[in-house]
Structure 1
Amino acid sequence: MRVVAYCYQTAGDAPDPGRLNELAEQVYSDGAVPTPGYRPGRDRLLADLHTTPADLVLVQDLATLGNDPEEVSAWIEALESTGAEVISLAGGAVDVASLVQGANLASEQRRRRLREGHARSRLQALPPPGKPPYGYRRGQGKYLIDRATAPVVTAFVNEFLLYGSLRGAVRFVETRFGKRISASTGRRWLTHPTYRGDLQYQDGTVLRDTHAAIVSREEAAQIDRLLRRNRPLPPRTAGAARSLAGLVTCQNCGQPLTISKTAPKSTPRGQAKTYLYLRPSGCPQTPRCKAIPYDEALHRIVAEICRVLPQAVAQFTANIPPGAPAPGTRLQAAIAAKEAVLAQLPALEDSGVLDAETAALRRYKLRGEIATLHQQLAQLPPVNLQELSQSVSIPQFWLDLSEAERRFFFREFLRDIQIVRDRDDWRVELVLVF
């Protein structure tokens, strides 16, 4: 008994005939292309059956034989006219009359056409189906910036970059624009590839630079670092007014130090003044660990950073093998190599080495791989640590910063600040991010 099979793959999927290879001695296959009726594998199957008849023709699903019920019926009749029996692994023997009338098959065909249409749109870098994200509208086959709503997203992003507080930026857009959003929506505005000028599809592939961006690449890299630094911090400290909020821990009792202030007290000149303290919250020891003046703690922490940071950076860079390329250099080389391959596709298509469908699929995969490498590159430190450590090892650099600027740099380098108490005094130990 001679058994052959036919397999049809959706655009963008790797060929995977599955059980057909095990059951049939030869498998004919096609893939969805910009012209749905173009199926050379199916045509070759019918021609071969006329010259070398087979007993059985196996298919994964009858719906894969055509684009509508009438076409499926016609192809079943054509295949059976050669003396073969068409068998579906999903069903069994074929009843042509019920097949044409079957509503389930018609529904499956409509769903298949939708999936194929979406796959062809991916290959052409067209936006996915559905409502465009807030701040955009559809036009010219891509997303266009909506001038009525995009300023809300821009203001939200700028507020987050300035103060580093997601919920604070949510409250800001509600107060200023009357736009009420949830924190999860705000996070999506900050992180979704669409706002960075990229398209993300259901299969997870991201294509870069497909439309105008609301969030620039530099802003996106800074947003990712801010969110990554804020993740381990206690709630409501990401955008706190004081730069040490959420970073200081008492090593003796293991409790975080919160910032408290005294009631205003009059000075000899008649001016009211408040004093800030770092106080352990929920200290279980008796007597409780004492509070520390905020300004004194700030000066000691700055002095410790200026002492420890250059040594830590020198040790970190010394562990890199001599002559080993930097991670950024390796990623840039990989990106350049893939972009070179991408640039060769038009010439290969013009010379006939690649057909239009294969070139489109290869272009889609290459652009997705390049986007992944760019994402890895954006997560690397934005500056040279050795040079930066020299700049930030001057105490006056830290003291001249505003609280918001100082908070930004603290969280760029510090994961935790430990207060170690001796009998009569206390000292600072730093936990650096690297």
Structure 2
Amino acid sequence: MVILAYEYIDPLWQPLPDPQAWGQEIDYWLLDVEASRPHLRYWLQRLEPGYWLLQQLSALGRTVTEVSDRLRHLEVAGITVIALAEGYVSDRPPTGDQLLSLWEQVKQQLHQQTLCHGHARNRLKHRPPPGRAPYGYRRGKEHYVIDRAAAAVVKDFVEHFLLYGSLSAAVRFIANTHHKRISIATGRRWLTHPVYRGHLYYQGHTVIPQTHPPLIAPEEAAQVDRLLRRQRSLPRRSASAPHPLAGLVVCRECQQRFGRTQVQPYRQPSQYAYLRPLHCPLSPKCRSIPYNAALTAVIDQIAQRLPRAIAQLSVPTPPLTAEIQAIEAQLHHLGELETQGLLDTETAQLRRYKLAGERAQLEAQRLQLPPSNLLQLAVTLGQPQFWYQLSAAEQRFYLREFLHAIEVTSRPPQPWSIHLRFIWESPIGSVS
């Protein structure tokens, strides 16, 4: 008596199964990856007595009629068929309503497989997934095309976020400017979803790069990712605060953050701003410091330390460029093999699809690396006059690009002082 386990998969969308999942009791494990099912047809001619184990009855054919005929052919030959998904055992066949339910289930399985096969073929051709096009696009014949009216809303949203660094402020901005109301979650999706960067996103994990015009340029996408990652370590209300030092100033002694307070002296036309520790547990408490004086000290220290720190910075970077070039060479070689007839079109498309996903991951990693003109940028940022020409929002953007914290020592009776901790430096003490 032969115990045979048979499986059929569509390699366009199904992973290879593990034969060990059937255990050690089986005599043969058969796997078909072609729609013609050559292994199945061969064993249907042999018809050795025994047991056939299936994951689903739909593995026997492409239509309900084909499955029914082959199942009857096996049972007439005295072979016991066991289908795990349906709980079917040919020795105890269902009757009545159970039989109707069984074949309805097989019909649904075959329909689902047909849909998945069609979607997989579209993925290989880099066509958009099924469903409505994302806001800002409309469906074209082969790819997404830009909807100009909606795309203007998305672009204004992204520009406002890059300028002020606040999701909620960008949401309010497009509500007031374009009368488009969205949630914070939708705004975050606009900023982070690959489709707005010109890539297709399939089945929750595969990204195919550069398939349609982007609404967010690669440089803007890298800035968005850095801003969102940087804001995770900042207090919630500091993300879009109007002053540049918001969320960065920390007491070196009590490890408490400083907040900005603004007062107007009696009978004075101008206001006075200062920084004070919000919840200092020490006694006497750490002193407050003048805000403008602190900002000036920060700019002076950046001019002294930043160019030298970046010049000495040695960050090991993975050979991403070489890996991307290797993938490009493989893609070119695939085209040559296909032209020479050594590789069929469907296999070449499947391999090309997987290589495109790997290239997208490497491209995303490369965009997160420091810019190639970092040294020249450091020279510019090291000039105090450059900082005083910037707006408060621009100052805040550059400070958060390089600073992890501004540590302040303000214990009386010593004069206050600051120390800048850059993002690549390890902390002196834990910051709450």
Same fold (TM over 0.5): yes
Corresponding residue to 2:89 among 75, 88, 93? 93
Q: Tell me by how many angstroms 1:173 deviates.
A: 0.5
Question: 65, 68, 93: which one pairs with 2:63?
Answer: 68
Moved more, 234-243 or 81-90: 81-90
CA distance in 2, matches of 1:280, 1:369: 48
Which residue in 1 is equivalent to 2:379? 390
Report the equivalent of 1:354: 343
Change in Cα spacing, 1:26 to 1:123, as seen in structure 2 (3 Å) is farther
Task: State the alpha-carbon separation in 2 of the partners of residues 165 and 309 from structure 1.
Answer: 26
Of all paired residues, the percent bearing the same amino acid is 44
Partner of 1:202: 203
Contact 1:68 1:109 survives alignment (8 Å): yes
Question: What does residue 275 of structure 2 align with?
Answer: 278
Q: 2: distance between equivalents of 1:52 and 1:368?
A: 43
Q: Distance in 2 between matches of 1:189 and 1:310?
A: 35
After alignment, is 338-347 or 3-12 more displaced?
3-12
CA distance in 2, matches of 1:47, 1:377: 50
Aligned to 1:177: 178
Q: 1:290 aligns with which of 283, 287, 291?
A: 287
Residue correspondence of structure 1 range 414-433 to structure 2 within 5 A: 414-422=403-411, 423-433=413-423
What does residue range 38-117 of structure 1 map to in structure 2 within 5 Å? 39-40=35-36, 42-51=37-46, 53=48, 55-80=50-75, 84-90=79-85, 91-94=87-90, 95=93, 98=99, 102-117=103-118
Q: Paired residue for 1:147?
A: 148
SS in structure 2 opposite 1:210? coil
Change beyond 3 A, Cα 1:73–1:357: same
Give per-residue Cα distances to partners, 1:78-109, cap 9 Å, x unaligned.
44566544332443423498379632222233
C-alpha distance in 1 between matches for 2:305 and 2:136: 45
What's the CA shift string for 1:134-177, capped at 9, x where partnerless?
Answer: 11121213222122312111110111111111111011011111
Q: CA deviation at 1:220?
A: 0.7
Give the TM-score of the pair, scaled to structure 2.
0.88
Q: Is the 8 A contact 2:276 2:287 kept in 1?
A: yes
Secondary structure of residue in 2 paired with 1:148 = helix
How is 1:161-310 mapped onto 2 (pairs within 5 angstroms)?
Answer: 161-263=162-264, 272-310=269-307
Q: Structure 1 residue 261: deviation in Å?
A: 1.4
Which of residues 27, 30, 52 in structure 1 aligns to 2:29? 27
Contact 1:8 1:29 in 2 (8 A): yes
- What code does the residue aligned with 2:422 have? L
Identify if the C-alpha distance between structure 1 residues 228 and 61 changes in structure 2 by more than 3 Å, giving closer, same or farther. Answer: same
State the 1:310 CA deviation: 3.5
Structure 1 Cα separation of the partners of residues 101 and 184 of structure 2: 51
Preserved contact between residue 47 and residue 77 of structure 2 (Cα < 8 Å): no
Pairwise CA RMSD: 2.4
Q: Provide the rounded CA distance (Å) in 2 between the counterparts of 1:296 and 1:80.
A: 90
Task: For residue 74 of structure 1, report the CA deviation from its aligned partner.
Answer: 1.9
| Residues 49 and 82, structure 1, Cα contact 8 Å, conserved in 2 | no
String of CA shifts for 1:337-387, please: whole Å, max 9, x gaps.
011111222222233332222212111111110001011111111244444
Distance in 2 (alpha carbons) for counterparts of 1:263 and 1:374: 52
The one-letter code matched in structure 1 to 2:8 is Y
Q: TM-score, normalised by structure 1?
A: 0.88
**Residue type matched to 2:89 in 1?**
A
Give the AA of the match of 2:358. E
Does the 8 Å contact 2:265/2:271 carry over to 1? yes
Residue 379 (1) aligns with residue 376 (2): no
- 1:404 aligns with 393
Identify which range, 407-416 or 356-365, moves more after superposition.
Answer: 356-365
Q: Is the 8 A contact 1:199 1:206 kept in 2?
A: yes
**C-alpha separation in 1, matches of 2:414 and 2:284:** 14
Task: Give the letter aligned to residue 202 of structure 1.
Answer: Q
Distance 1:254 1:337 in 2: 48
Three-state SS of the structure 1 residue aligned to 2:81 is: strand
Deviation at 1:20, TM superposition (A): 4.3
**CA shift at 1:59, angstroms?**
1.8
Q: Is the 8 A contact 2:13 2:117 kept in 1?
A: no
The residue number in structure 2 matching 1:35 is: none
Contact 1:135/1:145, CA 8 A, preserved across alignment: yes
- Specify the alignment match of 1:323 in structure 2: none
- Report if the CA contact (8 A) 2:128-2:142 is conserved: yes
Aligned to 2:428: none
